[in-house]
Amino acid sequence: MNGSLLDIFKIDRLGKGIFAKLLFAVALLAGVSVYFTPLGDTDFTAFIVWAQNMMGNVDLMMNMSPADIPLSSGNIIYLLHLLAADMFVILCGFIYCGVYIRQYRLEHGVDEPGDSGYLIPPRFLVPISAGKLALRIFVVICFSIVMLLPLSFTVLYLFLIFIIILPVLSMYPACYLSGDSGLIGSFPEMVKVTKGYYLVNARNMSLIVCMYFIGSWITSWLMSFVPSAAYVIEPVINVFLALSFGRYVGMVYCRMREVPGGLRIGAKLHREAGDK
C-alpha cells in the first residue's frame, strides 16, 4: 500500500483484473435487481398512509400493536429482497478484501520488501489456499447473517458509536480471510493489529462513508427527475464504494503486518536493524 488515496479506488487492480470485474458485475446485478426485477410487492401506499396517521395521533401510536402495521406478505418479501441485495454487496467487499490479501502475498516473496519498503514477517507471507479461502468466505457469510440484527441496530440508533468502532471492526474479515487467525482469535487480533493505525484508518474510512452519503443524496435527487438513471447509478456507486472499502481494508492490513504499530515504530526498528 502506498500513500496515495486514489489507490483505494483502483478496484480493477487485482491480479489480472478479471476477478475484480466479474465481482463488480455480479454485485451490480444484485443491486439493480431490486429495481428492475423486484421480488414481492413494491406498493407501500397503505403503509405510508398508516405511518402518516400514526405521526398525527399520539394515542393511536401508543395503543398500536405489530399486527396493526399494514404490510402485506409481498411487502415483506420485497424488503427481504432489498436487505439481501445490500448484504450481498457488502459481502462482495469482504470477498475482495480476502482475495486482495491472498494475491498480495502470492506476489511478495519472503525476502522481498512489500510496497512500504519493509520486510514482511515470513508467517504473514503465507497465502491462504483458494479452497480454504472459499470455505472461510462461506463462514463469514453465515456469521454476517447471525450478526445482521445487532449490527443493523447499531448503525440505525448508535451511528456515532458504529463510526468509532468501524476502523477496528472492519479488520475482522481481513484477519480471518487472510488465514492469520481463527474465527474467535480474529477478535483480539483485529484490536492488536490496528494499534498505531486507528486515526489514519478512521480518516480514510470516513471518506468512503461520506462518499456513500453524497452518492445517496445525488441519487435521491435524480429519483425525482430521472428515475431510470437513478436505478442504475445508485447500485453502481454502492458496489464501487463497497469494493473500494474492501480494497482499502486489504491494503492497510498488509501494511499493518509489514509495519506493526505504525510507521514511527517501523522506522525505529528499521534503524535498529541497520545499526546491528
The pLDDT value given to residue 176 = 94
Work out the pLDDT band at 268, boundaries 50, 70, 90: low
What is the share, in percent, of the chain residues with pLDDT greater than 70?
83
Query: Domains in the chain: how many in total?
Result: 1
Dist. CA 188–CA 181, nearest whole Å: 10
Instruction: Identify which of 174, 235, 240, 251 has the alpha carbon closest to the alpha carbon of residue 20.
Output: 240
What 3 state SS string does 91-112 have? HHHHHHHHHHHHHHHHHCCCCC
- Total-model pTM: 0.85
> Which residue type sits at 69?
I
Range of the domain at 54: 5-275
Instruction: Identify which of 236, 206, 202 has the alpha carbon closest to the alpha carbon of residue 218.
Output: 236
Specify the higher pLDDT residue, 152 or 46: 46
Work out the pLDDT band at 276, boundaries 50, 70, 90: very low
The pLDDT value given to residue 61 = 65
Dist. CA 177–CA 183, nearest whole Å: 9
Dist. CA 90–CA 98, nearest whole Å: 13
- In the block, cell 541497520 appears at 274
The pLDDT value given to residue 124 = 73
